Amino acid sequence: MGILTDLTPSRVVNEAFLFHNGQRYLIGSKSPQQKQTFYPVENKTLAIHPDDVMMARCNMTNHENRVIYMGNTRNDEMCNFYMMYVVDLADEDQLHDRYNQQCFSDGKANVDLSSFIDGKYEIVQR
């Protein structure tokens, strides 16, 4: 993570977390201004279980005198965090479930994330 050049109006970092049994685990953290590709997670033992919550967020510092919205133009901020994971063959039914194909939120989550983002959860290493 670093400060961007003067041509870029803001500093941005994307990060993703897994919440499991009251613990927060960092999945990854990267500036979207760096090379865009899939990076392996450092924590090779991280596993996703039923009822776990996976959350990605974009932290941006706006130095401009205007509101910057999420979008696809050069005037917008585009923060995406793509995660690729494997599913055991025994659980392949979930791959055909139309409700498990993608997850997106415009910032209004369908679950109460206040306990996840207010500092109650410490990042732990598995």
Task: Answer whether 51's CB lies under 8 Å from 22's CB.
Answer: no
Residues that constitute the known binding site: 78
Task: Answer whether 30's CB lies under 8 Å from 12's CB.
Answer: no
- What's the CA gap between 3 and 126, in Å, rounded? 30
pLDDT confidence of residue 126: 46
Q: Is the residue at 125 inside a domain?
A: no
Q: Is the residue at 126 inside a domain?
A: no
- What's the CA gap between 76 and 55, in Å, rounded? 22
Q: Is the residue at 25 inside a domain?
A: yes
Q: Is the residue at 83 inside a domain?
A: yes
Number of domains present in the structure of the chain: 1
Give residue 57's domain range: 10-117
Q: Is the residue at 40 inside a domain?
A: yes
Q: Is the residue at 3 inside a domain?
A: no
- Write down the pTM of the prediction: 0.62
* Tens-place pLDDT, residues 30-70: 877 777 777 778 788 888 888 888 888 777 778 888 888 77
111 to 29, 55, 107, 115: CA distances (angstroms): 22, 11, 11, 10
Q: Is the residue at 123 inside a domain?
A: no
Q: Is the residue at 61 inside a domain?
A: yes
Q: Is the pLDDT of residue 4 over 50?
A: no
Residues that constitute the known binding site for Cu(2+): 78
